[in-house]
Amino acid sequence: MSDSIFSNTMKSLTPPKMYGLAMAAALVAGVLAWIQPSQAREAFAVDAKEGNFPLVLTADLPKEAREALSLIRKGGPFPYSKDGIVFGNREKALPKQPRSYYHEYTVKTPGAKNRGARRIVCGGNQASGDCFYTDNHYDSFRKIKE
């Protein structure tokens, strides 16, 4: 009996209905991927290993990020005591380097009662090395192009 129900159901699936089911499946897959931050981070880490980062021009950064980048290039002084500490890259969101290669700096967030989620992380020589901007506390980075 279930075979006949299955056969009848399959016969009723016309191409437009099959297209609709495929679209629904794609939508569900997209939502599931969206709610799995660890999977998104892993996908981003693969890009990081290859050095493929979205770019952000310095001029397109928020004013506070431009100010922080200017201080970084000058060597300070920095407004937060944690500015300049080693960034461990535990999330593997940036290209693999020795532990003390990356340093992080706070980007002021207007209205935030703490340091907020915005950071600039620079590698190598802080005066001229590659820097990356995150506005979501290390979930993703954009390479700063000066």
Do residues 107 and 118 lie in contact, with contact meaning Cβ atoms separated by under 8 Å? yes
Q: Is 137 a catalytic residue?
A: yes
Q: Is 104 a catalytic residue?
A: yes
- Name the burial class of residue 81, with classes exposed (0-12), middle (13-18) and buried (19+) by CB atoms within 10 angstroms of its CB: exposed
Of 50, 91, 104, 146, catalytic? 104
What are the beta bridge partners of residue 133? 120, 142
- In the block, tokens 């609709």 appear at 20
At residue 103, φ and ψ (nearest 5 deg) are -130, 145
Of 64, 103, 137, 146, catalytic? 137
- DSSP letter for each residue of 20-46: HHHHHHHHHHHHHHHT-HHHHHHHHHH
Catalytic residues: 104, 137
